[in-house]
Structure formats: C-alpha cells, structure tokens
Amino acid sequence: MYRAVVIGGEASVDRCVSHKLFMSHEELRRTPRWVELGFDKDEQDFLADADAFLGFSWREVLAPVFQKTPLDIYGVDFGTTREGRPIVFEVNAAMNLFSPAVAKRTPYLSGLYSHLNDVTAQYLRDRIASG
C-alpha cells in the first residue's frame, strides 16, 4: 500500500507500508520483521523516486482522483494489481499524516513528516489570512 498526500492541491508521496504483503499494517513497523522483510529499504526507495519504484507516474494515474476530490487536505491510499496496474483503495480526509511514533521508529521519515507539517501549517495560515 502506498499513500499520496494532497495539501492545498499539491501532492506528494507519504509512505509505502508494503508492496509485498497483502493487508500489512503500520503495526508491522513496530517489529523487527519490518527490516527483516526489507520494507524499510523499499520505503526509502519509493520515497526517493516513486515513479521509478512503481513503474508509472503516480501523479498522472491519480490525477482524476485529485481533480474530483473537493478536500483541501487528504490522503490517497493506492497499490498495484498483480499485473502492475494501479488501483485506488481509498481517499481519506482523516488519515494519520504526522505520526511522531512512526518517525521515531523510522528516522528516514522524520524529514518528510517535518516538511509535510510545515506545508500544512503554511497552507492553513494562508487560508486563514485570505478569509
């Protein structure tokens, strides 16, 4: 499962929970198995260049979702079929975007979370200022 985050119309990738196991969850990060299965490296590769990792442009594939979703801040959880075709699982306005616990366990995410937090705060300040 992969997640794209949209903040004020700007999309970025947020995480790769797992592309090898069906229905893996964030709880797996809390176990040594996360590293044993190579999920930490996979996630870092995904975050470094999601298009290369996925084999397609995630922004192009998710563009219709972005265009039709009337929310300011939300996440899009998506994956790929066995044939490599993208599939959207959900659009979620109540996702866990900033998880200090996850950032603590996976330090490579702390910079991304900090950036997303800054972008979100600036977006909200701009919205408030514009009335």
pLDDT at 21 over 60: no
Q: What is the DSSP code (8-state) at residue 109?
A: G
Mean pLDDT over the full length of the chain: 85
User: Which residue type does 63 have?
Assistant: A
Model confidence at 24, in pLDDT bands (50, 70, 90)?
A: low
Model pLDDT for residues 74-85, shown as the tens digit of each residue? 999 998 888 888
Task: Report the Cα 15 to chain-centroid distance in Å.
Answer: 4
Model pLDDT for residues 65-123, shown as the tens digit of each residue? 999 999 999 999 998 888 888 999 999 998 877 667 777 777 888 888 888 889 999 99
pLDDT at 25 over 70: no
> What Cα–Cα distance (Å) separates residue 103 from each residue in 47, 56, 92, 110?
14, 27, 21, 5
Cα distance between residue 93 and residue 16, in whole Å: 18
What residue ranges do the domains of the chain occupy?
A: 2-96
Q: What is the mean pLDDT of residues 24-46?
A: 78
pTM of this structure: 0.84
- For the domain made up of 2-96, the CATH class stated in words is alpha beta
Cα distance between residue 124 and residue 74, in whole Å: 14
